[in-house]
C-alpha cells in the first residue's frame, strides 16, 4: 500500500503503522532505554552510522520513529524529530541553526515563552531578535539586517490570530538566504503545510491539536531536507530533549482522530464566533472564518480551514474579561489549546504576562483580549455558556 496516494484521514490511520513480528494492530510501546546487538560487529556498525539498528532511546526508538514518520509525511517533509515538549523543539532548532552574532526576525505576537526564550535568553549568547508584525511583509524586509540568519514566524499568531503570508515569507527567505521556520501549532498539518510554501523547518507543540486530549506534553520538528534533518537531529540527541516512548504512543493514538476532531471544532468555532460577533458586550472578534476577518482571503488561500482558535475583546477591559472567565460553567479556565474540551484564558495576565505591557499591547495583546480554544462539545452548549457569563459582565 502506498500511503502517499491515500487521502489525509486515511494517512492519519495507516501512515504510522508499525509492523511487528506479532502483527500488532497498534504501534507497540518499546519501553526500553537500550537495545542489544547480535554481535560486536553489528554494534560497531551502529556507532559508525553504517546501520539503522536502534542503540539507545535518546538516539532513537521504534515507537518514536513511527510518530516521527507520520508527522513528517503529513507535513510533506523529509524527516521528523520528536522532542519532549514544544519548547524543546524551539530550543533545539535555534541551538542547531544559529551562532553568536546571528540575528532572528520573528512574529511580534509569537507564543509568549518562544519570545522570552529568544529575547531574554539567547541574547545572553549574542543571538539577538527583532519582533515585528509579520502579517505585513514590508515589516519583515525592514527588520532584516546583514547578520539576519532566521525568519521565525507563527501563523496564525498566538493569540492575535494575525496571519503571515507564507508564500511571501518563503520568497523573502530564499532571496535573503534566511532559514524560514514556521510554528504550525495552531493549524496542524491538517489545515496548513508551510513547507509547501518555502519553509525550511516546521515545528509543533504536539501537546495541542495533534495529540488533542490534554494528557501529553510533546513537540515535533519537521525538516525539508536531509542536511537540515541531520543537523537538528544531532542537536536533539546531544542535548537530551528526546521524547519518551509512552509519549509517542499516546500522540500516535491522538493523531488518528486529528481530522474528525478539527472538523467538529472548526464547525463549532464558526458558530461561536458568529454569535460573539453580534454580541453587544464584545468589542471586536478575530477568527479567520469570518468575512469580517481582515485577512479572510489570505486565510482561504493558504489554509484548508479556519481553525478552532478565537480571540475577542470584552468591553470593559481586564475586569470584564475576568468576570466572563469566572462565570463560565462549561468552558474550562485553563491555558494550552487544541484539546477536545473548550478552554478560555486571558493572555495578558496568563500566557503573556511576563511581556512588558507596552511590548504586549504593541503586539496586539491588549488587556481586553480573551482567547478561546474551541473543543468538540455541542456548539449550542458553549454559546449558552458564554451568553450566560456575558450577562454578568
Closest CA to 370 of 303, 279, 292, 262: 279
The arithmetic mean of pLDDT across residues 217-228, rounded, is 98
φ, ψ of residue 100 in degrees (nearest 5): -55, 135
What is the arrangement of strands in the sheet containing 343-345, beginning at the earlier edge strand?
A: 282-286, 309-314, 369-373, 343-345, 332-333
φ, ψ of residue 108 in degrees (nearest 5): -70, -30
Q: How far apart are CA 277 and CA 272, in angstroms?
A: 9
Structure confidence by residue, pLDDT tens digits, 240-253: 999 999 999 999 99
- The count of other CB atoms within 10 Å of the CB of residue 292 is 11
> Largest Cα–Cα distance of the chain, in whole Å?
74
pLDDT recorded at residue 75 = 97
| CATH architecture for the domain at 3-30+61-255 | 3-Layer(aba) Sandwich (3.40)
Residues 200 and 180 sit within 8 Å (Cβ to Cβ): yes
Closest CA to 236 of 91, 76, 123: 91
Structure confidence by residue, pLDDT tens digits, 139-152: 999 999 999 999 99
Catalytic residues, by residue number, are 58, 111, 183, 208
The arithmetic mean of pLDDT across residues 320-342, rounded, is 94
Which helix (H) or strand (E) segment holds residue 105: the answer is: strand 103-107
Q: How far apart are CA 241 and CA 153, in angstroms?
A: 22
pLDDT recorded at residue 23 = 84
pLDDT recorded at residue 1 = 44
Higher pLDDT among residues 23 and 181, named by residue: 181
Does residue 2 register a pLDDT over 70?
Answer: no
Q: Which residues pair with 150 in a beta bridge?
A: 104, 179
pLDDT recorded at residue 87 = 98
Higher pLDDT among residues 301 and 355, named by residue: 301
The sign of the CA dihedral 192, 194, 195, 198 is: positive
Q: What percent of the chain has pLDDT over 90?
A: 82
What's 24's DSSP letter? -
The ranges assigned to domains in the chain are 3-30+61-255, 258-390
pLDDT recorded at residue 4 = 56
The arithmetic mean of pLDDT across residues 199-216, rounded, is 97
Q: How far apart are CA 381 and CA 376, in angstroms?
A: 11
Q: How far apart are CA 234 and CA 18, in angstroms?
A: 24
The arithmetic mean of pLDDT across residues 309-330, rounded, is 92
Structure confidence by residue, pLDDT tens digits, 255-266: 999 999 999 999
Q: How confident is residue 354, by pLDDT bands cut at 50, 70 and 90?
A: confident
Considering the chain, what is the average pLDDT of its residues?
Answer: 94
The arithmetic mean of pLDDT across residues 15-42, rounded, is 87
The arithmetic mean of pLDDT across residues 190-211, rounded, is 98
Q: How confident is residue 17, by pLDDT bands cut at 50, 70 and 90?
A: low
Which helix (H) or strand (E) segment holds residue 154: the answer is: strand 148-154
The arithmetic mean of pLDDT across residues 192-203, rounded, is 98
Does residue 328 register a pLDDT over 70?
Answer: yes
pLDDT recorded at residue 25 = 87
pLDDT recorded at residue 16 = 67
Does residue 104 register a pLDDT over 70?
Answer: yes
DSSP string for residues in 319-379:
HHHHHHHHH-SSSEE-S---SSS-EEE-TTTTTTTTS-HHHHHHTT--TTEEEEE--SS-H
Does the domain at 258-390 match CATH 3.90.700.10? Answer given as: no
Does residue 237 register a pLDDT over 60?
Answer: yes
The three cell numbers of residue 109 are 505576537
Amino acid at each position: 500500500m502506498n500511503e502517499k496516494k491515500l487521502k489525509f484521514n486515511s494517512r492519519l490511520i495507516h501512515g504510522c503503522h508499525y509492523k511487528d513480528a506479532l502483527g500488532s494492530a497498534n504501534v507497540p510501546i518499546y519501553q526500553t532505554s537500550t537495545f542489544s546487538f547480535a554481535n560486536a560487529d553489528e554494534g560497531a556498525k551502529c556507532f559508525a552510522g553504517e546501520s539503522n539498528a536502534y542503540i539507545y532511546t535518546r538516539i532513537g526508538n521504534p515507537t518514536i520513529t513511527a510518530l516521527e514518520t507520520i508527522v513528517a509525511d503529513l507535513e510533506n517533509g523529509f524527516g521528523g524529530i520528536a522532542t519532549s515538549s514544544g519548547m524543546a523543539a524551539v530550543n533545539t532548532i535555534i541551538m542547531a541553526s544559529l551562532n553568536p552574532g546571528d540575528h532572528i526576525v520573528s512574529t511580534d505576537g509569537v507564543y509568549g515563552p518562544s519570545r522570552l526564550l529568544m529575547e531574554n535568553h539567547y541574547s545572553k549568547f549574542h543571538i539577538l531578535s527583532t519582533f515585528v508584525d509579520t502579517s505585513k511583509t514590508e515589516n519583515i524586509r525592514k527588520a532584516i539586517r546583514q547578520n539576519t540568519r532566521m525568519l521565525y514566524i507563527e501563523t496564525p499568531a498566538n493569540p492575535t490570530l494575525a496571519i503571515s503570508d507564507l508564500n511571501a515569507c518563503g520568497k523573502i527567505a530564499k532571496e535573503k538566504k534566511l532559514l524560514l521556520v514556521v510554528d504550525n501549532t495552531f493549524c496542524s498539518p491538517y489545515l496548513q503545510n508551510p513547507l509547501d510554501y518555502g519553509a525550511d523547518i516546521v515545528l509543533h507543540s504536539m501537546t495541542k491539536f495533534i495529540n488533542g486530549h490534554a494528557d501529553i506534553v510533546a513537540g515535533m520538528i519537521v525538516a525539508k531536507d536531509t542536511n537540515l534533518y541531520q543537523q537538528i537531529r544531532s542537536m536533539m540527541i546531544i542535548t537530551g530533549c528526546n521524547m519518551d516512548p509512552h509519549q509517542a504512543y499516546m500522540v500516535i493514538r491522538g493523531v488518528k482522530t486529528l481530522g474528525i476532531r478539527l472538523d467538529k471544532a472548526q464547525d463549532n468555532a464558526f458558530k461561536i464566533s458568529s454569535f460573539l460577533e453580534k454580541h453587544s458586550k464584545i468589542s471586536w472578534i478575530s477568527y479567520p472564518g469570518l468575512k469580517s476577518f481582515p485577512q479572510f482571503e489570505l486565510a482561504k488561500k493558504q489554509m484548508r480551514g479556519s481553525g478552532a482558535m478565537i480571540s475577542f475583546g470584552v468591553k470593559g477591559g481586564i475586569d470584564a474579561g475576568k468576570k466572563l472567565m469566572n462565570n463560565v460553567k462549561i468552558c474550562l479556565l485553563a491555558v494550552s489549546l487544541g484539546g477536545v474540551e473548550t478552554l478560555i484564558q486571558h493572555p495578558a495576565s496568563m500566557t503573556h504576562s511576563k511581556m512588558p505591557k507596552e511590548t504586549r499591547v504593541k503586539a496586539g495583546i491588549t488587556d481586553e483580549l480573551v482567547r478561546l480554544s474551541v473543543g468538540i462539545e455541542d456548539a449550542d452548549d458553549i454559546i449558552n455558556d458564554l451568553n450566560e457569563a456575558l450577562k454578568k459582565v
